[in-house]
């Protein structure tokens, strides 16, 4: 009996020693591979035929290492800290302008209202010729953007070309804080539904959304409901997401829980403030660009049956990142946990720990998706983003619209229109008239617009294959007839897709006169997802899906 007891005790001690042994083995593997890496670089530095740039080479190595994990774990050297501030805080040192590339040239596509570029009189459509005397020829957007950014209070000189004339402006950089709520107002035929657009979950996002809601409610106490638009919102700070949910949900409600490797860092986040309104009908708009914090807000409001979610399935990012300080003013953003919303589900759609033979991360298979219940007992699923309660089919761009964007022709026409029209109607009243559209069509004719459709590419591929298989002479006549009919159809594309093209043209022109806010405001009247949300309030008049 004693021998058996001793044996059990020894087995128990051996079991207890396994974690310690595993940890020692892991530490040895880390030390061994770090030594190998150091030796590899040392030998490169000593023996490689050309000089090796240490900063560049090590950065490539770090990026490759982190790239094997997930796309959200990144290293930022000191030179890229402005990009970190922009991502997390919506802030950077610069002049306040969006720039774009057209061919070999860089253009200002939008100056932000009231910021240095706007105050200096720079306009959308201005071609940037030089930054601080250095030509932009042959440079890409990141290069020019980097040159324009810098510490607040420092000067930057831009030389731009406008209508054949060159202008030079010296601007003083500022700490640019992008508005996370670019527009709020009313929609619907009666103008009695509130609308709030949230672009990013940066600092003060919850404060700004709350203030926008309070202002709307004060202006129209009898409004039928409110729409929170999170389409295209890639997320940001988790605490801001929790506080936004709190605007419409009572204090003390669990919104999100994070779980990771380090148990001491796991966190449950509850609403902590007095809500503004727990009864008003609420709709949240999402699409494939709604991720992370957007999914916390839409998913938790769905789980709590507090809002109806409308649009398309969200991105599916259920991973949480922390910023860690690194030596020499560098930083690293590291995925530290997954988040879980009130029903208990995680909406992460891609499993980065498993990859196929080509190294691509795998989507969570349907067989592993789990059903959960909302507060009212409705079934929801994990593993593939937030599925809307009311799904609206996405609208895809036509071939001609894609061509106009790629060739910058809508952008260029809007620039010419702005230079020849001193003013236009307000955003809610401006429309593309028959006269404007006819002028636009003439402009495209002058520019000799041409584009290839998928059908044309398929015909050409079929012709090539037929030639290889020696069927070309037998079917060439039919192919030519198809091409002829397609050419006739393409001639009517400007009229066939007039509605889509007018919406795009209207948005670009409104941006010239009323900035981003005007573009958003002008699009609301014809936005199918917004119109569906307004319709939902009209038919149900209740909160969420009770």
Other Cβ atoms within 10 Å of 142 Cβ, number: 11
Give yes or no: 83 in active site: no
Q: Do residues 244 and 297 touch, judged by C-beta distance below 8 A?
A: yes
For residue 101, CA distances in Å to 17, 134, 492, 504 come to: 61, 17, 30, 19
Catalytic residue among 109, 145, 290, 292: 292
Torsion of CA 284, 288, 294, 295, to 10 degrees: 90
Angle ∠(228,231,237) on CA atoms, nearest 5: 80
Give yes or no: 540 in active site: no
Q: Do residues 338 and 321 touch, judged by C-beta distance below 8 A?
A: no
Catalytic residue among 139, 317, 333, 490: 317
Closest by CA position to 180, among listed 146, 209, 156: 209
Q: Do residues 112 and 91 touch, judged by C-beta distance below 8 A?
A: no
Closest by CA position to 392, among listed 482, 311, 500: 311
Q: Do residues 177 and 94 touch, judged by C-beta distance below 8 A?
A: no
Other Cβ atoms within 10 Å of 530 Cβ, number: 22
Other Cβ atoms within 10 Å of 207 Cβ, number: 14
Q: Where are the beta strands (DSSP E) in 215-303?
A: 225-229, 254-260, 267-270, 282-286
- Residue linked to tokens 């509605």: 499
Catalytic residue among 303, 382, 493, 516: 303
Give yes or no: 317 in active site: yes
For CA atoms 311, 210, 189, 438, the dihedral sign is negative
User: Hey, which residues does 324 pair with through a beta bridge?
Assistant: 332
DSSP code for 349: -
Residues with catalytic roles? 292, 303, 317
């Amino acid at each position: 009996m004693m021998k058996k007891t001793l044996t059990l005790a020894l087995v128990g001690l051996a079991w207890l020693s396994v974690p310690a042994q595993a940890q020692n083995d892991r530490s040895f593997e880390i030390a061994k591979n770090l030594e190998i890496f150091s030796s590899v670089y040392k030998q490169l530095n000593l023996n490689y035929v050309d000089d090796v740039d240490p900063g560049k080479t090590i950065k490539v190595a770090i990026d490759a290492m982190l790239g094997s994990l997930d796309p959200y774990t990144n290293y930022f050297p000191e030179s890229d800290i402005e990009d970190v501030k922009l991502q997390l805080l919506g802030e950077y040192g610069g002049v306040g302008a969006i720039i774009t590339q057209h061919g070999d040239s860089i253009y200002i596509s939008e100056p932000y209202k009231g910021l240095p570029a706007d105050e200096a009189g720079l306009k959308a459509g201005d071609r940037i010729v030089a930054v601080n005397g250095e030509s932009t020829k042959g440079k890409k957007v990141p290069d020019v953007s980097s040159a324009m950014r810098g510490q607040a209070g420092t000067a930057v000189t831009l030389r731009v070309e406008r209508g054949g004339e060159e202008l030079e402006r010296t601007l003083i950089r500022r700490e640019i804080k992008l508005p996370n709520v670019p527009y709020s107002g009313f929609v619907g035929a009666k103008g009695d539904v509130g609308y709030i657009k949230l672009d990013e979950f940066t600092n003060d996002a919850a404060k700004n959304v709350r203030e926008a809601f309070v202002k709307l409610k004060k202006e129209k106490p009898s409004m039928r409901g409110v729409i929170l638009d999170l389409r295209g919102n890639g997320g940001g700070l988790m605490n801001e997401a929790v506080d936004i949910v709190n605007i419409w949900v009572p204090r003390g409600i669990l919104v999100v829980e994070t779980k990771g490797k380090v148990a001491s860092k796991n966190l449950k986040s509850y609403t902590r403030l007095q809500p503004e309104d727990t009864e008003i009908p609420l709709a949240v708009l999402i699409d494939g660009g709604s991720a992370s914090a957007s999914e916390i807000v839409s998913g938790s409001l769905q789980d709590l049956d507090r809002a109806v979610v409308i649009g398309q399935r969200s991105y599916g990012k259920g991973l949480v990142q922390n910023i860690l300080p690194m030596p020499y003013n560098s930083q690293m953003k590291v995925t530290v946990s997954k988040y879980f919303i009130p029903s208990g589900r995680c909406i992460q759609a891609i499993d980065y720990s498993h990859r196929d033979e080509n190294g691509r991360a795998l989507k969570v298979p349907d067989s592993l998706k789990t059903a959960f219940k909302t507060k009212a007992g409705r079934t929801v699923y994990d593993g593939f983003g937030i599925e809307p309660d009311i799904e609206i089919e996405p609208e895809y761009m036509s071939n001609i619209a894609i061509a106009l964007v790629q060739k910058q022709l809508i952008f260029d026409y809007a620039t010419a229109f702005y230079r020849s029209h001193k003013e236009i109607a307000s955003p809610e009243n401006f429309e593309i008239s028959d006269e404007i559209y006819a002028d636009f069509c003439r402009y495209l004719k002058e520019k000799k617009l041409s584009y290839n459709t998928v059908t044309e590419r398929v015909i050409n591929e079929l012709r090539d294959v037929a030639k290889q298989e020696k069927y070309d002479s037998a079917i060439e006549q039919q192919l030519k007839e198809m091409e002829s009919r397609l050419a006739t159809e393409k001639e009517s594309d400007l009229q066939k897709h007039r509605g889509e093209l007018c919406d795009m043209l209207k948005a670009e022109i409104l941006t010239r006169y009323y900035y981003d806010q005007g573009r958003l405001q002008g699009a609301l009247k014809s936005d199918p997802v917004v119109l569906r949300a307004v319709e939902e309030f009209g038919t149900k008049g209740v909160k969420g899906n009770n």
